[in-house]
Structure 1
Amino acid sequence: MADTALGIPDHHYREGSASLTLGSGFFRPDSRPSRDCSVLLARHQQQNAEGQLRWLDLMAGCGIRGLRWGLEAVPARAERVELWVNDGDPDRLPCLESNLSGLPMPVRISSQAAEVVLAQAYLEGRFFDLIDLDAFGAPGALIQPVLQALRFEGLLLLASTDGRSPTGHDRAGAVRSLGAAARVHPASWELALRHQLGLLARQAWMLGRGLQPLLCFSEGRTFRVGVRMRRHLQPGEEHRLGLLARCDACGSQVVQILRNLSGWPACRCASGAGRWSVSGPLWIGPLQDPQTLAALRRDPWLREPGAISNQTQRLLERLEADPGSPATVWPTDELARRVGIGGPPPLNQLVTAVRRAGFQAYPSGVMAGQLRTDADLTVLLRLCADLCSEGT
């Protein structure tokens, strides 16, 4: 399967109910979980919608998302969906037309720049209920035109392959692309997602609209968020934009709401030499919507053989078990190192101990081996040490 990532011409590929020709462009079989999730969200939307729907795959490549939407998301109600599939490379057009030719709903195929597709749709008054934007690099320049073309309560699936800027490895790039400070952090994938959501929220709020994350995940290479754009901001939504600080000496973490920003408290480092490394503004609210994830996992379509991959199934289970809030996350191996023990206690035991101590605690669904909690570092180190002493 490695040849498909190199774009071998006329290579045939099957995924779910879709069988298609990949053509000569770039394609990643490893991105199947994102495509599975897009089908599940499309199915969920059409099952709960009353009128006509319009879906857009803005950077379609070989058209696999649009093909799977048409075959798997609307099996009995195809007449209710108008499908738009676009790729900016005109050489992709014959491949798209061939792959999508058998779909039972109206399909509009184009090979234009993404900005042109969005502008034309907006000028024609054609708004989308679902937009999938799977871009190379940082998609920030397209966020505002995408939001303007998205219908109220519509779904946006957004991907970014810019890993250096939001993880603190290109701080100047983060200022340019995100309008934020990004610092290196052990939960780097999560901070990249939060920076992306923070940018989305600020752009949505400029239009008077609200943001509800439904699912957010990464495998370390591509950072993917799925959100619902609400007609209005929800009460207190501005409190979900803030700053996250981590002490570069002891590892303590503090979160501040941007609206209530004040001075940072002194870190209680034993040496007194610690400094706060601050990231933001970024999204400090939940990363997942448990209700939506539970509904996706109840879909009877999942009982069909090969509907989604085993990897996607495990991803959904992890995300449903972790709401993505609070925003402070610690790797268990870092806790063990700071306690001075050979290895960390089992994550599930640490979660239970933290909950018994009266705090929130979840295994991170974004990065393996990490604990999400509102307990401070001194509590975590004590509990970690207690668990290790009990096990000896």
Structure 2
Amino acid sequence: MLKIISSIKIESSNLKYCLYAFRFYTVTFKKDMESKPEVPNITNNEQTITEGRATITTLGNVFYNPVQEFNRDLSISVINVFSKERSNSPKLEFGIKNENGIRILEALSATGLRSIRYAKEICGIKEIVANDISKIAVAAMRNNIKDNRVDELVTASENDAVMLMYEHRLKEKQFDVIDLDPYGCPSRFLDAAVQAVSDGGLLLVTATDMAVLAGNSPETCYSKYGAISLRTKCCYEMALRILLQCIESHANRYGRYIEPVLSLSADFYIRVFVKIYSGAHKCKFSTSKLSMVYQCNGCETFTLSPLGTVKTSDNKQVKFKLPTGPPLNSQCEHCQHSHLLGGPIWSAPIHDPNFVQKVITETPEHLNTARRIQGVLNVVYEELIDCPLYFVLERLSGILHVTTPPMMEFRSAILNAGYQVSFSHSRKTSIKTDAPAKVIWDILRCWEQRHPLSDRRRSEQGAGNNILAVKSEKEYSFDSHPNANPPSRRDGFVRFQENPLPYWGPGTRSTTMVGDVKMEKSKRNQGKRKRESAE
């Protein structure tokens, strides 16, 4: 390099600048070579894992979360039911290729465990594509597929998940089932996913960014999901409904719409199972399935305002109309506080009871979490499907500063008043009911008459005392109602999530992705501002 430069005739005034440039590029090249990460030694960090009927070996830092076994077991149960509905074959077998069976894409496969389990534990499968963008993950996947002898059913794919789904938009290439289980927010995959699912196909979506969905960052929730989240005690169900409206909005752009068959809040994530259909006319009903949510700043009472209404005339002609509004006054009718506005959320049913009943009946007994699946789905089956969101009993009592009524007595009071009530699977002390909020507060006013507030509490200013200042319109009975104790509770099912296990939480993002260099850069930049300010 020096000989080349010296052989070139350069004016003396520019020579020093050329030498400076040469020195700069050589130093930069040296640093780049020194900072280039070495190829990880994937043989030093091996782990053998057995789950269900699959045994795999993880290599390097390929992502695996043992807490998600419930997620994988439930997915197997749901897809089994779907496969039996979808297939034309009278008899379906496990682990054997069925030419009339379903095609499945696991877009973010990592170890390949889920796809291998699908191949071994789901009947009526034609093909499974296990995809990941990481070379290390795909290498491990291929070995695991071979070791589990499912080569005929499972194909490993090294591709960007979004591009792969876009390549399967044509009808003859679409998948019957697409499983999206990303780390964090799934919204960047949805546009491609809703196009790559066949008509009537099943889309499975997981979201683990619960802080965003639960109202900690409403502006971030809007940028990711197209909806404003609220900090409310029914945030888990609201998170499900925000995700469902996000999937619906992506599907509507292509003349498609969704029908949720099962929606779950479990552990640290939410998981929805929806069928995707095509039909431009049906998409017109979407506005009537979405609502804005008004939540009182004081008593936290919520009111839903639909984005659209559907009217059917005497001659059965359907008309789509805009709702009149606003649906409530500027001040809450119960406590005179102002309102917050959130949404839009999916306000139509989030489960299909008939489908849920099939999953309960046909859940394989060999699954490690079969007992929990049976318990949770029995609660889901009992949920009131036309009553979006729920109250939380201890929060209602806390607003009024009264002692919390026993759950069975409170449920009995609602039933004795002629209304329906159920639990929500997402909260142990939830009150899901078709009773108006006024009735709920009247019942608590009657409870306060039996368990009066102290003089000190009576003298305080706040939403609770504003509610108690109004007399209940009638007396409500807390006598035991025969339907107050639901079958799932009476029969001793494992209805709600168990205590946290080791490795609790969504885990850490896999470091085997293409962004390994980015991860190294992130480590180098930690504390950079403090170091610069100290200098």
**With structure 2 as the length reference, what TM-score do the two structures score?**
0.66
Deviations 1:119-157 (A, max 9, x none): 222369410100100011211121111111000000011
1:95 aligns with 2:132: no
SS at match of 2:173: coil
The alpha-carbon deviation at position 94 of structure 1 amounts to 2.0
Distance 2:70 2:384 in 1: 19
Contact conserved, 1:345 with 1:384, CA < 8 A, in 2?
no
Cα–Cα, structure 1 residues 343 and 52, in superposed 2: closer, same or farther, change >3 Å?
same
Question: Residue 311 of structure 1 corresponds to which residue in structure 2?
Answer: 372
SS at match of 1:343: coil
Letter in 2 for 1:170: S
Distance 1:126 1:59 in 2: 19
1:14 aligns with 2:55: no
The alpha-carbon deviation at position 338 of structure 1 amounts to 3.2
Distance 2:228 2:266 in 1: 23
Deviations 1:274-323 (A, max 9, x none): 11111111101111111111001111x53x34364433232222212214
SS at match of 1:118: helix
1:115 aligns with 2:176: no
Cα–Cα, structure 1 residues 99 and 218, in superposed 2: closer, same or farther, change >3 Å?
same
For structure 1, the residue ranges without an aligned partner over 5 or more in a row are 1-7
1:84 aligns with 2:129: yes
Cα–Cα, structure 1 residues 296 and 105, in superposed 2: closer, same or farther, change >3 Å?
farther
Cα–Cα, structure 1 residues 333 and 217, in superposed 2: closer, same or farther, change >3 Å?
same
Cα–Cα, structure 1 residues 10 and 368, in superposed 2: closer, same or farther, change >3 Å?
same
SS at match of 2:413: helix
Distance 2:81 2:267 in 1: 27
1:377-388 equivalences under 5 Å are 377-384=437-444, 386=446
Question: Residue 154 of structure 1 corresponds to which residue in structure 2?
Answer: 201
Structure index of larger Rg: 2
Contact conserved, 2:58 with 2:111, CA < 8 A, in 1?
yes
Distance 2:346 2:259 in 1: 11
Distance 1:209 1:378 in 2: 38
Distance 2:349 2:258 in 1: 11
**With structure 1 as the length reference, what TM-score do the two structures score?**
0.89
Question: Residue 293 of structure 2 corresponds to which residue in structure 1?
Answer: 244
Distance 2:374 2:423 in 1: 17
1:47 aligns with 2:84: yes
Q: Percent sequence identity over matched residues? A: 22
When structure 1 is superposed on structure 2, of 81-90 and 114-123 the one drifting more is 114-123
Deviations 1:335-384 (A, max 9, x none): 222343222321x4433432332323210112221111222233113334
Cα–Cα, structure 1 residues 332 and 107, in superposed 2: closer, same or farther, change >3 Å?
same
Cα–Cα, structure 1 residues 323 and 226, in superposed 2: closer, same or farther, change >3 Å?
farther
Distance 2:133 2:409 in 1: 50
Number of equivalenced pairs: 376
Deviations 1:7-50 (A, max 9, x none): x9322222222222233322221112211121112211221222
Contact conserved, 1:243 with 1:257, CA < 8 A, in 2?
yes
Cα–Cα, structure 1 residues 202 and 314, in superposed 2: closer, same or farther, change >3 Å?
same
Letter in 2 for 1:275: S
Distance 1:323 1:108 in 2: 41
Deviations 1:156-198 (A, max 9, x none): 1101122232222112212211222222111111111111101
Cα–Cα, structure 1 residues 325 and 12, in superposed 2: closer, same or farther, change >3 Å?
farther
Selected match of 1:263 from 286, 306, 326:
326
